[in-house]
Chain A
Amino acid sequence: MNNLTSVLLANNFHHQFEEWGKQGTAFPFDSGVEQRIVNYSIPAMELTISYRGLTFANYETIRNAYENNNSNTFIVDLNDEATDFLYMEADYVEDDYVSTEFSTIDLRPETMTLNASVWAFKDFQFKIDARSRLYTGKISLITSVFFNFDEYQDLFAQSSSYTRSESSDQSFLNVLTDAQPYAVDLKYVNNAIFSNIGQSVRHARNKGGLKRYWTMYWLLRETDFLKLLTFYRKNSGIMGEFGVPDYGTDTGVSIPYMADDYIEDQDDYILYTGLSSVSNARFQQDSFQYQKRIDGLFLCQADLIEVKL
């Protein structure tokens, strides 16, 4: 079982927990006395880890961990000190970090066995915008009776698979060179099946088909908007497939930052990773929305989803 402690607990600034206790039913008698029946006896916990100010390399490490473990369980030991604290933007106070000493939260490594703190991914959402060119996002983990014991793992065998659909198509890149988004959301569509007992998520079956999902946001002048609109009309729906780039490395082209309703600096880029990381994708059906503003600029967004070859 993979240990993602050092990967997921680095560069984070906030942990949010939600914990469920024992569940059952209470029946009041006419006398007012309650008979309580406990049906689900194992507590469950959801942990949302937030990240801020990640470079592409930081983000890529977390993304690779997600892609390689999207449907299986893995170890995150909250008792382990993370050595690498979050990146601080200038706006934030210097000691704005979370200590990762959680010895009283997850007792499993102490009461059961080392590396018994086993979790699974529930959600993965990041965003990059042209202002900072840094990644902000959060991942959600869930845990309950994911035990790192042969008896459980053999019965409920889990695996994960992801192979990116590569593309050599540059038609959308040509559009993006002019119609440059100011922000991109990055997430995934997960095809795995999870099953439950009570509050406990027990088992995930990897069905393959994990897909990248982008939401792009634009603020464009009419000429650039019309290029994007034309491209959408040619390629929208289920028939069109084209190459969509990843964003955030130090080489490549694209995406100016726009603020105060005008183009501030054409050199203020989010950069994409070049042709080697272009994924085969299409517009999510009927996802293109746009508004014409009174200043003549067009505000629009579209969802794109990876298509498996």
Chain B
Amino acid sequence: MSKTISSNSRTDRQLAMLHLFEFDMYNFDNTFKETLYFTDHDIFVNYNSIEYTPLAITFDRLVEDFSMAADSINVTIDNVNSALSNTALSTEWRNNRALIQRVAYTPPTESIKDETYTYGYGDNLDSYPKLNLDSITKDVWTLFAGIIDTFSATESTLQGTITTEFNNWSKPYPTRTYNQNEFTTVVGAMTDIIYWGRQEVA
């Protein structure tokens, strides 16, 4: 698990970002049922041959205290079609694996009617629109890995709390998760040559 941002830092320093979410679901008899794959991107995302479904999904900023440990974050998921609350009530979310990954990638170029757009939208537009991460330049790193603690659902949203596993609580922050303030507070103290804790690769 590294935090390499190299080729994705384009010369004009623009990159695109999306997040991938995985939630394991178990039946009430404790047998594994399925893993739910979501993304906060606008269209379907394919990564490692897995299709991530686009949903309005957000999560709180990670906050770490002076012990440099991040204990839990809250995730809010769109529930407008009620599919999630139905799943949540018919399966066991709690104490199951949850994973949030951040993907920094170079938006693929796209040609439409002889015009080339440097930052395209996706591919396979004529089958159904999706972004295939397997074939484009990207960096993927784990933002948060833990277990689902509690959830609550309303008509429009489903909220869950994801907690790091107890045996990870005392681990120092940098080895497990990363501060989302990295672009401002950390980088602000650096030059444009050294950022994100690494030297820029031209």
Contacts and interface: CB of A to CB of B under 8 A. Distances in A.
Contacts of A295: none
Interface string A185-212: 0000000011111101011110000000
B43 A42 contact: yes
B119 A41 contact: yes
Interface in B32-60: 40-44, 53-56
Interface residues of A, number: 43
A33 B192 contact: yes
A197 B55 contact: yes
Contact of A24 (B17, B191, B195): B17
Contact of B112 (A38, A41, A107, A205): A107
B119 A38 contact: yes
Contacts of B104: 37
Contacts of A42: 42-43, 121
A34 B13 CA distance: 7
Interface string A134-146: 0000000000110
Interface string A30-47: 110111111111100000
Interface string A3-15: 0000000000000
B112 A111 contact: yes
A92 interface: no
B16 A41 contact: yes
Given A41-B107, A200-B42, A107 B113 contact: yes
A194 B125 CA distance: 24
Contacts of B191: 29-31
B80 A37 contact: no
Contact of B129 (A31, A38, A112): A112
Interface string B181-202: 0011001111110010000000
A37 B17 CA distance: 6
A156 B113 contact: no
Nearest to A21: B119
Given A41-B119, A107-B113, A112 B13 contact: no
A195 B77 CA distance: 10
Contacts of A247: none
Given A33-B13, A38-B17, A147 B129 contact: yes
B155 A38 contact: no
B107 A38 contact: yes
Count class of interface residues, chain B:
35 or more
A197 B54 contact: yes
Interface string B1-34: 0000000000011111110000000000000000
A155 B130 CA distance: 14
B56 A149 contact: no
Contacts of A110: 113
A113 B124 CA distance: 11
Interface string B132-176: 000000000000000000000001100000000000000000000
B53 A29 contact: no
A140 to B, nearest CB: 20
A156 B78 CA distance: 12
Contacts of A205: 80-82
Interface in B99-121: 104, 107, 112-113, 119, 121
Given A29-B195, A36-B14, A36-B15, A41 B121 contact: yes
A27 B187 contact: yes
A157 interface: yes
Interface of B: 12-18, 40-44, 53-56, 78, 80-82, 104, 107, 112-113, 119, 121, 125-129, 155-156, 183-184, 187-192, 195
Given A27-B184, A41-B41, 6 more contacts: A25-B183, A29-B187, A29-B195, A30-B190, A147-B128, A197-B56
28 contacts: A27-B183, A27-B184, A29-B187, A30-B189, A31-B191, A31-B192, A33-B13, A35-B15, A36-B12, A36-B15, A37-B15, A37-B104, A38-B14, A38-B17, A39-B18, A41-B119, A41-B121, A42-B121, A111-B112, A147-B128, A147-B129, A195-B56, A195-B156, A197-B41, A197-B42, A200-B42, A203-B78, A204-B80
